[in-house]
Amino acid sequence: MIEEIFTPVKTMPTPTELLQEIKNLRAELDNRTADLETLAQQTADLAFLNALNAAANRGDPLEKIIAFIAERTRELFNGHGVIVYLADEGGKRLLIQNLVILPKLRHKIEAILKQPIPKLALNLTPNSPFSRAIREQKTILVTRKEEILQIEREYALSNMPNIPKPVLDRVLDLVAQTLKLKSVMIAPLINNGTVVGAIDISSAAEFTATDVQRFDALAAQLTGIIIRKQTNAALRHSETLYHSLVENIPQNIFRKDTDGRFTFVNGNYCRMVGKRAEEILGKTDFDLHPRELAEKYRRDDIFVMKSGKTLDVIERHQTHDNPASYVRVIKTPLHDSNGTVIGVQGIFEDITLQKENEERLELYAQRLNILREIDRAILAAASPIEIAQAVMKPLLRIIDARRASMVMLDESTRTGTILAATGDVNPQGLQPGDTFKISDYPAYHRYRDASERVMEAYLTSSNSPMAQKLEHSNIHAAINVPLLHGGELVGALNFGFSRPEDILPEYREIAREVGDSLAVALKQAQQTEKLREESAAKTRLLQEIDHRVRNNLAAIVGMIYLEMRQAEKTNTPVSQKTLEAINVRVRALAALHELLATHTWQPIPLRDVASRV
């Protein structure tokens, strides 16, 4: 026989606490979604830097590179326009390299000026936002309307110092009404203290602090290309910035050649694999991961290199020495200066916690639905056996037990009834409706005296018929829930498992929560059955009384009838009148009895009764 084990049970959370936990999980999922959006931005920035380096390595002219920078930067930040400036020899003016003006706006401005818009330059006055960005050597964010207007005014005065003020005001009003700018980012292009130029981007929306950091990094990359274009120094500067970027982001980054050999891994990747970079470089996925995963990774790499498309997937990840996890991976093809594919670059982040939270949220939702289903079944059931049969099937969908049973105990009669016995282990063929004596139920006293509402034990050693009938092979652990109602033990809910480790913590909580509902339902069902039995007994008694009263009344009426005939023959008026009065009263009593003997209670129509009497 299996020894009973008692373990503390964690308190079941209230619906409010459970709802709060679900809200917390949703908030955490929202945070993870924001992190993934940041990851996508960083991947786009990296792809842009790679393309920019490739353009410089190909020997593209500076004008083409600047045009590429302006267009891609505008796309990355969803801005209105990007302007690149180069400093003149004296470092006093910034020459605009790519002024972008909408055709309609250009025509309107030229109509006001009555001349074509000249190639603009910008004087670096002490109070200029550009001068401040150069002094501070960092990107500044301009959001005040007055400062944005000052930038536009300096554009005009730097190139047309003699422009009449009314004309200037009309131009500035036209630009403001057309563009409706709300923020401008200005980044200086400085190398070793030398001012190379500047770059700005304007938008009708407000830029964020993250945008400023990204813009700052892009500006630094542009500076290196302009200063050291097509030179080894420029390449080294670019690689330094690139590696600085990839080493300081929380994601794992790697590069592979066309044969799948690693050519670069950042520090996070090394820490994730648990190896040094020199132990990884030159190796393939087959050296680091299980063969099944390595084959999948290789198929993905080949797809990216052949299609030239970016791959964005969530996949299972595992190394030889670490447990499995889930990651979001973004892979892009790598090109050389001639545009030839030379490998794959990937960036990924562990989202195992997010997946676990999603699964927990799904499990909680499933659990709530099943518990609601159980509550509905309890309300719809009429008898204790119907309650047990309705509850067991959905309950075993969330408690993975080999066997489950439910018994009803009546302490007043000292008897018990098997309500349900289901599962893959039922060797003795327990059937609903089987009854037993409480004294033959070994767990009864344990239930009755237990301070814990849930006990991990099944049956104590006993030679009683009930114990022998409930003995199970291959059941070495159990959850037993006493069903208590107002201090009265009305039943028990039992779950059998092959091993103690098969009992998950949430099983105890679910069993206890369902047990509370079952205790109330069983008690109500017991009371209903007792009332039904009492009602049936009363009905049988009334039927017997009705039968006897009718027979006696019929006999009395017959006897009166005979006496009245005899009185008529003997011509005895007094006796005849007396018998007639008795006959009337007996018939009235019979009419009342017929009404009272009905099986349904309803209002008595007194007028009809009086009429019949």
Query: pLDDT tens, 340-378?
Result: 999 999 988 888 777 778 877 887 787 777 777 767 766
Q: What is the pLDDT of residue 464?
A: 44
Block residue for tokens 């005296």? 449
Residue 602 makes CB contacts below 8 A (sequence gap 6+) with none
C-beta of residue 206 within 8 angstroms of C-beta of residue 143:
yes
Which whole number is the average pLDDT over 482-494? Answer: 83
> 172-186, 242-256, 449-463: which has the minimum mean pLDDT?
449-463
CA atoms within 13 A on the CB side of 344: 28
Whether this model's pTM surpasses 0.75: no
Contact 442, 464 (CB under 8 A): yes
The pLDDT value recorded for residue 140 is: 92
Among 136-140, 238-242, 593-597, name the one with the lowest average pLDDT. 593-597
3-state secondary structure of 226: helix
| 9-11-12 Cα angle (round to 5) | 115
Mean pLDDT value of segment 577-583? 71
Predicted pLDDT of residue 595:
64
Helices (H) and strands (E) in the chain, counts: 19, 16
Looking at residue 155, its pLDDT comes to 74
Spatial separation of the C-alpha atoms in residues 78 and 545, rounded to whole Å = 95
> What is the C-alpha end-to-end distance of the chain, expressed in Å?
74
CA atoms within 13 A on the CB side of 292: 5
- Does residue 27 register a pLDDT over 50? yes
The band of 306, judged by pLDDT with boundaries at 50, 70 and 90, is: very high
Whole-number pLDDT of residue 451: 38
Which residue shows structure tokens 């893959």?
Answer: 424
Integer Cα distance of 109 and 169 in angstroms = 12
Angle, in degrees to the nearest 10, between helices 384-395 and 505-570 = 160
CB atoms within 10 A of CB 192: 7
Percent of the chain that is helix, strand, coil (3-state, to 5): 55, 20, 25
Task: Give the residue-averaged pLDDT of 414-436.
Answer: 71
Cα–Cα distance for residue pair 75/82, rounded to 1 Å = 10
- The pLDDT of residue 100: 63
**Chain-wide mean pLDDT for the chain?**
77
Decide if pLDDT at 284 tops 70. yes
Length of the chain, in residues: 613
